[in-house]
Amino acid sequence: MKKFRMFLAAAALVAYATADACTNFIITRGASTDGSVMVSYAADSHALYGALYHNAGGKHLKGSILPVYEWDTGRYLTDIPQVEESYTTVGNMNEHSLIIGETTYGGREELADPTGLIDYGSLIYITLQRAKTAREAIATIVELANTYGYASSGESFSIADPDEAWIMELIGKGCKLDAEGKNIRKGIVWVARRIPDGYVSAHANQARITQFPFDDPENCLYAPDVVSFAREMGYFEGDDADFSFADAYCPADFGTVRGCDARVWAFFRTVADGMEAYEDYAMGYNLKNRMPLWVKPRTKVSPKVVFDCMRDHYEGTPMDMTKDLGAGGHNCPYRWRPMTFEVDGVEYLNERATATQQTGFWFVAQARPNVPADMGILWFGVDDAATSCLTPIFCSTQEVPECFREGNGSMLEYSPTSAFWLFNRVTNFAYMRYDMISADIRKVTDAWENGQLARMAEIDARAAGYDSQSARRRYLTRISVDKAQELFDRWSKLDKYLLIKYMDGNVKSEHGDVLAYLDSDAPMARHFVENGNGRQIPDKIQFPGYNEKWKRAVAADNGEILKVQK
């Protein structure tokens, strides 16, 4: 997702330096441990407020209209006819367990259509209100974009239901006005490919579909002019069989691969064998060594593995953000923007990993087997995935938890009951001494997420006992709301604990660890070691200092001034 549109097809490092970005991982049912289809998504933007969107479905009067507002900016675009019946949506999932995620790849700048009236965000959320299956969603997206004109740049969509998962890539056709001032190029060129069952795929702000079959409608759908339009624009010459959507409409370069496709590689290498063969591609050094669109995982992938893949900082690779001097004295895997810098006329980059500081919200959605479709789960969280936590929101929920509710705070208004502000406060504190504080946070995250996953069988059994859909949905709503509030309360307690433990660069000694404190009802003062005089004065305070690389760098930089004289 992008705020303030930028085109990645501009000069490589310029585009790489300015674009906000998102990440999607896709797991087919045959590749998952529980038979669910999963899609992950991080909505990354420096201006997006993390909230959980909800739209109640229902019947609509004939002649009703639906206003369309650009998702990124809030700009009014147009009114379109409302459908007779719409479906309830929560976040990027609807009551039928249809899931849609996205990443923006931008593509060729001249293909933007200033007359378009449907942006990519509206395509997602309107389609979720109108489609039940992935194939219906693809058809709805095409119909909306071709009818009203496409108002955004190139997009990759993840589209999944309980049975199958697809990647759909699209881009506008620019603007060419006729004598009456109408755009005769209105609409999109696009291609959609079904991910084979048993495989996983991903996209992260770089077009991923290259060659595709033209005679396999069960597994590949495309615009009738997807090749001919590329020929018309001079993007492609040759036989149809050699046509590559990505190469025609979003050619890769160093910046888009290193800043974008590298995140796909990081996911693939975590779950599949043989990915070291593509390391030179991921680093932007060998663009001809392109990764496959999907890979078969070495073992089936669990929801928790997907959760944790969204927390990746390239650990264990040459791009590991915790290893160089930019990580500071406490191994912080973040680099503040801009994404490039210059020294003595040489330009350098800051890595862009999957987990990033500017995430508004993120999720891992599960379309699950052997349960009613309205029991799909949107595992939802706000802020940086590496230091935040997911909680289960059932796709048919009739209520949004207060801590995730739209209007409860904004990017310009702090709210003490907002999860977005609470998680940001904890995370920004963690950035200062990441090696120690993030380890405490991760213990809490793992305990919570594993606990919620373990409870799903019990919840499913209880839900199956209700004799009506409405009763089941009321129960699932209560679970969704109560668990979100429980997580909020737990994080509020964690917030205070971390401040007391790590204040002023010190580390207070404690009885047990963070989980021992959070799971106890005892006052916080009893958790920390005091000096024995009964006055709540801490004892055995630790002064951990900085890591070895930092100390050596400071000594090299200013050692003559700082050297202790014997």
CA distance 372 to 473: 11
Is the residue at 557 inside a domain?
no
Is the residue at 533 inside a domain?
no
pLDDT tens string 322-359: 999 999 999 999 999 999 999 999 999 999 999 999 99
What are 88's two structure tokens? Answer: 């309830």
Q: Is 536 left (phi over 0), alpha (psi -120 to 50) or beta?
A: left
Residues 272 and 329 in one domain: yes
Domain count, the chain: 2
Distance between start and end Cα atoms, the chain: 58
Range of the domain at 488: 388-508
Residues 309 and 432 in one domain: no
Ramachandran angles phi, psi of 410, nearest 5° = -155, 180
Report, as ranges of residue numbers, the positions in the chain whose pLDDT lies below 50.
1-19
Residues 439 and 327 in one domain: no
**Cβ atoms of residues 377 and 20 within 8 Å:** no
What are 107's two structure tokens? Answer: 């593509």
Residues 437 and 319 in one domain: no
Residues 214 and 261 in one domain: yes
Is the residue at 559 inside a domain?
no
Residues 63 and 129 in one domain: yes
Residues 297 and 393 in one domain: no
Contacts of 167 (CB under 8 A, 6+ apart): 26, 156, 157, 158, 159, 192, 193, 195, 201, 203, 208, 209, 293
Q: Return the pLDDT at 5.
A: 29
Q: Torsion over CA of 91, 92, 94 and 97, rounded to 10 degrees?
A: -120
Residues 405 and 339 in one domain: no
3-state DSSP assignment of residue 166: strand
Residue type, 188: I
Is the residue at 354 inside a domain?
no
**Cβ atoms of residues 127 and 159 within 8 Å:** no
Strands (E), 107-207: 154-160, 165-172, 188-194, 200-203
Q: Return the pLDDT at 9.
A: 32
User: In which residue are the tokens 């929101």 written?
Assistant: 393
3-state DSSP assignment of residue 250: coil
Is the residue at 548 inside a domain?
no
Is the residue at 248 inside a domain?
yes
What are 391's two structure tokens? Answer: 């909680």
Is the residue at 173 inside a domain?
yes
CA distance 336 to 14: 16
Query: Nearest-CA neighbor of 145 among 168, 164, 180, 119?
Result: 119
Residue type, 238: G
Residues 345 and 403 in one domain: no
Residues 318 and 392 in one domain: no
What are 274's two structure tokens? Answer: 């043989």
Q: b/e map of 42-67 (b: 16 or more CB within 10 Å)? A: bbbbeebbbbbbbeebeeeeeeeebe
Residues 106 and 241 in one domain: yes
Choose one of 296, 327, 349: the last residue of a domain: 349
Residues 342 and 392 in one domain: no
Contacts of 9 (CB under 8 A, 6+ apart): 15, 106, 107, 108, 109, 250, 251, 256
CA distance 538 to 61: 67
Q: Work out the angle at residue 355's Cα, subtended by the Cα atoms of residues 350 and 360, and round it to the nearest 5 degrees.
A: 110
Is the residue at 531 inside a domain?
no
pTM tops 0.85: yes
**Cβ atoms of residues 423 and 492 within 8 Å:** no
Choose one of 349, 374, 408: the last residue of a domain: 349
Choose one of 321, 349, 377: the last residue of a domain: 349
